[in-house]
């Protein structure tokens, strides 16, 4: 991109809402037409030789072939192999993010940097964000650590002064899950009946999700952190990998056990979306990995699990076994976000994909495109902040991120997406009601002679304010769903 175009791109970030509205999809559903001023941008992907960074680089070059992709890492061989897969509009640069000089040199002629060179846990500084501000480069990280994300957020004023849009926690989870939560809250507030009361993030990944040793290190490091959750506005601290729940992730994933983990979206969504009760849980497969994680939390001292070098040794020990099991477990991934309101309204979003190693890149690429389209204001933002991803741009972002999913639903009551039929009990006016996952709902006649109510499949499509809402409202207002 020319210097002139670069300046225009930077200026355009202040007019975010209008630019986003004008962004057009190409005729080919997978290819995105960026605005002229950012179409030929140069994107540096730090950690581009790894799973998340590599997947992001691949998604970006497929979605926007005109973007120049610079893959960065410490290993030339891995870099050359990645570039050969990406094709002619890409190159490799050797960068160590712990070396400020090499970092700034790599950022000099770049329009946007994606930081995927984790792990983010137990790091002291935000070297990449600082270099991005210094060189006036737009920034996205896929951080999944609360301390790191909060530290990144503290650079907001410096990024604002430099007129640089930056997003922290812009991957799949956290990232897309934050945007899903923001959309559930927006829809509930728009209805204006009850107040959002409880937000819960549930994540499932088979094995390591086809990821590398870094994700294993990330998981171990997270086990060393007390879990921060919010209960009616009060911050509480809980034991990691405790509080198991069996959650229905719907089609393609079904029911899975999930456990409390310390994830940044809990704090950011509590602060930004103003929901008083928030928590996040994670589970993996096969089941014995969950037991292993719980055992590690109980047996190893937290200081050990917080020590990056000790955790690296642990990872080397476990890695061959983990890889072997990964071969059998596959890499399915699912996120379920639940929002409950004071009037009993309960809505959820589900995002399920067969391959984490693919969808994490598609998700991160969706954030990159949003920034290039001018949806992000200067400053450092979480994805759920309207200055991070403009409200009008959320739907497009979710649509792009959801490409290739086996199940993606938003704003539905749980019974419509869960795999097993639910029995609704204790309805004063109706003796019994059954709800099937295929949206056909039937209520038997009541003791007071109320007529049989039958809802057909197309009711869901008709409208959310038709019969379906009445039934749901009646059920949720007068009884408890057995979930
Ligand atoms: N938000 C989300 O949705 C999400 C989802 C999954 C993972 N993540 C996070 O993404 C991160 C990466 O995971 P991954 O599975 O992609 O790991 P990975 O496959 O091991 O890749 C890590 C990459 O970082 C590079 N790297 C590491 N240290 C570096 C340094 N000092 N300087 C330059 N490059 C460095 C590595 O390259 P070289 O070793 O060749 O230099 C490699 O390319 C993890 O921290 C993980 O927690 C986030």
Mean pLDDT by 10 residues, the chain (483 residues): 42 35 47 94 97 96 96 96 94 94 93 95 91 97 95 98 98 97 97 92 84 74 90 94 94 94 96 97 87 83 83 81 77 96 94 94 98 98 98 97 96 84 43 35 34 34 33 34 25
Q: Whose CA is nearest to atom 12 of ligand 1?
A: 118
Residues 6 or more apart in contact with residue 11 via CB below 8 angstroms: 163
CA distance 266 to 337: 12
User: Do the beta carbons of residue 357 and residue 327 sit within 8 Å?
Assistant: no
State how beta strands 32-33 and 90-94 pair: unpaired
What is the fold of 177-353? Dihydrodipicolinate Reductase; domain 2 (3.30.360)
User: CA-CA distance, 337 to 347, in Å (whole number)?
Assistant: 8
Ligand 1 neighbour 52 (Cβ under 6 A): yes
User: With a 6 A CB cut-off, is 401 part of the ligand 1 pocket?
Assistant: no
Strand partners, 351: 335, 408
Q: How far, CA to CA in Å, does 103 sit from each of 73, 96, 134, 296, 347?
A: 10, 7, 11, 36, 44
**3-state SS, residue 331:** strand
Closest residue by Cα to residue 167 from 13, 373, 382: 382
Length of the chain: 483
In angstroms, the CA 207 to CA 330 distance is: 7
Ligand 1 pocket test, candidate residues 103, 140, 149, 214, most atoms within 8 A of CB: 214
DSSP tally for the chain: helices H, then strands E: 19, 22
Distance CA 407, CA 13 (A): 33
Ligand 1: nearest atom to the Cα of 363: 3
Token code pair at residue 196 = 């959002």
Q: Which atom of ligand 1 is nearest to the CA of 144?
A: 1
Instruction: Compute the Cα dihedral for 211, 212, 214, 216 and give only its sign.
Output: positive
- pLDDT recorded at residue 373: 97
Q: Are 13 and 112 in contact (CB under 8 A)?
A: no
d(CA 75, CA 94): 7
- pLDDT of 459 reads 34
Instruction: Say yes or no: CB of residue 119 within 6 Å of ligand 1.
Output: yes
pLDDT tens figures, 148-187 = 999 999 999 999 999 999 999 999 999 999 999 999 999 9
Q: Is 368 in the pocket of ligand 1 (CB under 6 A)?
A: no
Rounded Cα distance, 247 and 259, in Å: 10
Please tell me the distance between residue 470's alpha carbon and the centre of ligand 1 in angstroms: 48
Please give the torsion angle defined by the CA atoms of residues 419, 420, 425 and 427, in that order, rounded to the nearest 10 degrees.
Answer: 40
Give the count of beta carbons closer than 10 Å to the beta carbon of residue 135: 18
For residue 98, what pLDDT is reported?
A: 93
Q: Which CATH homologous superfamily contains domain 3-173+356-403? A: NAD(P)-binding Rossmann-like Domain (3.40.50.720)
Mapping DSSP to helix (H, G, I), strand (E, B) and coil, where does residue 421 land?
coil
CB 468 within 8 A of CB 462: yes
- Nearest Cα neighbor of 347 from 423, 415, 273, 267 is 415
Q: What is the model's pLDDT at position 460?
A: 35
What is the tens place of the pLDDT at every residue in 98-109?
A: 998 899 999 999
Whether 369 contacts 228, CB under 8 Å: no
CA 54, 55, 61, 62 torsion-angle sign: positive
Here the contacts of 467-474 (C-beta below 8 Å, separation 24 or greater) are: 468/441, 471/433, 471/441, 471/443, 472/413, 474/427, 474/429, 474/430
CB of 98 closer than 6 angstroms to any ligand 1 atom: yes
CB 181 within 8 A of CB 273: yes
Give the helix/strand (H/E) hosting 387.
none
Distance 47 CA to ligand 1 centre (A): 5
Which one, of 268, 245, 294, 38, lies nearest residue 144 by Cα?
268
Q: What is the DSSP letter of 442?
A: E
- Residue keyed to tokens 């769903």: 481
Neighbours of 303 (CB within 10 A): 9
CB atoms within 10 A of CB 160: 17
Q: How far is the CA of 140 from the centre of ligand 1 (A)?
A: 14
Give the global pTM: 0.83
Torsional sign, CA 146, 142, 297, 206: positive
Ligand 1: residue of 116, 174, 351 to mutate (most ligand atoms within 8 A of CB) is 116
Ligand 1 contacts CB of residue 341 (under 6 A)? no
Q: What is the DSSP string of 138-172?
A: EEEE----HHHHHHHHTTHHHHHHTT-EEESS-BT
Cα dist. 232→188, 259, 276, 452 in Å? 18, 20, 5, 40
Establish whether residue 203 lines the binding site of ligand 1, counting it when its CB lies within 6 angstroms of any ligand atom. no
- Tell me which H or E stretch contains 109: none
Does residue 221's CB lie within 6 angstroms of at least one atom of ligand 1? no
Q: Are 184 and 411 within 8 A, CB to CB? A: yes
Q: Do domains 3-173+356-403 and 177-353 have the same CATH topology?
A: no
The whole-angstrom separation of Cα 317 and Cα 314 is 5
Confidence at residue 121, expressed as pLDDT on a 0 to 100 scale: 84
What is the rounded distance in angstroms from the CA atom of residue 411 to the CA atom of residue 151?
32
Q: Is 47 in the pocket of ligand 1 (CB under 6 A)?
A: yes
Ligand 1 pocket, residue 172 CB under 6 Å: yes
Domain ranges for the chain, please list them.
3-173+356-403, 177-353, 421-478
């Amino acid at each position: 991109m020319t210097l002139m175009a670069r300046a225009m791109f930077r200026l355009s970030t202040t007019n975010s809402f209008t630019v986003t509205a004008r962004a057009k999809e190409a005729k080919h559903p997978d290819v995105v037409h960026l605005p002229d001023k950012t179409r030929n941008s140069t994107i540096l992907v730090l950690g581009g030789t790894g799973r998340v960074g590599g997947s992001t680089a691949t998604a970006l070059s497929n979605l926007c072939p005109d973007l120049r992709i610079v893959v960065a890492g410490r290993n030339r061989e891995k870099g050359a192999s990645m570039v050969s897969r990406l094709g002619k509009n890409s190159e490799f640069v050797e960068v160590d993010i712990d070396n400020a000089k090499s970092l700034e040199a790599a950022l000099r002629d770049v329009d946007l940097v994606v930081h995927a060179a984790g792990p983010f846990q137990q790091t002291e500084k935000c070297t990449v964000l600082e270099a991005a501000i210094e060189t006036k480069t737009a920034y996205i990280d896929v951080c999944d650590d609360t301390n790191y994300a909060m530290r990144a957020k503290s650079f907001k004023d410096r990024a604002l002064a430099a007129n640089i849009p930056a997003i922290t926690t812009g991957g799949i989870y956290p990232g897309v899950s934050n945007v899903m939560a923001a959309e559930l809250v927006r829809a509930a507030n728009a209805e204006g009946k009850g107040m959002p009361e409880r937000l819960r993030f549930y994540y499932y990944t088979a094995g390591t999700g086809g990821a590398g040793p870094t994700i294993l290190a990330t998981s171990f490091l997270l086990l060393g952190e007390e879990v921060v959750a919010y209960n009616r506005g009060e911050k509480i601290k809980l034991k990691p990998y405790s509080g198991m729940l069996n959650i229905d992730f719907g089609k393609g994933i079904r029911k899975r056990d999930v456990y409390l983990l310390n994830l940044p979206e809990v704090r950011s969504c509590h602060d930004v979306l103003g929901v008083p009760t928030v928590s996040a849980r994670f589970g993996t497969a096969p089941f014995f990995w969950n037991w292993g994680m719980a055992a590690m939390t109980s047996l190893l001292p937290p200081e050990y699990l917080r020590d990056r070098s000790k955790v690296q040794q642990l990872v080397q020990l476990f890695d061959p076994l983990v890889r072997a099991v990964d071969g059998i477990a596959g890499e399915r991934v699912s996120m379920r976000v639940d929002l409950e309101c004071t009037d009993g309204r309960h809505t959820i979003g589900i995002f399920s994909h067969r391959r984490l190693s693919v969808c994490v890149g598609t998700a991160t690429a969706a954030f990159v495109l949003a920034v290039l389209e001018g949806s992000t204001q200067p400053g450092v933002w979480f994805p759920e902040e309207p200055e991070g991803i403009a409200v009008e741009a959320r739907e497009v972002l979710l649509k792009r991120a959801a490409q290739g999913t086996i199940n993606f639903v938003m704003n539905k009551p749980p019974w419509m997406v869960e795999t097993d039929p639910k029995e609704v009990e204790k309805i004063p006016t109706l003796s019994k009601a059954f709800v099937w996952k295929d949206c056909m709902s039937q209520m038997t006649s009541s003791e007071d002679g109320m007529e049989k109510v039958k809802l057909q499949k197309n009711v869901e499509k008709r409208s959310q304010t038709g019969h379906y809402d009445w039934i749901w409202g009646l059920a949720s207002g007068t009884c408890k769903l057995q979930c």
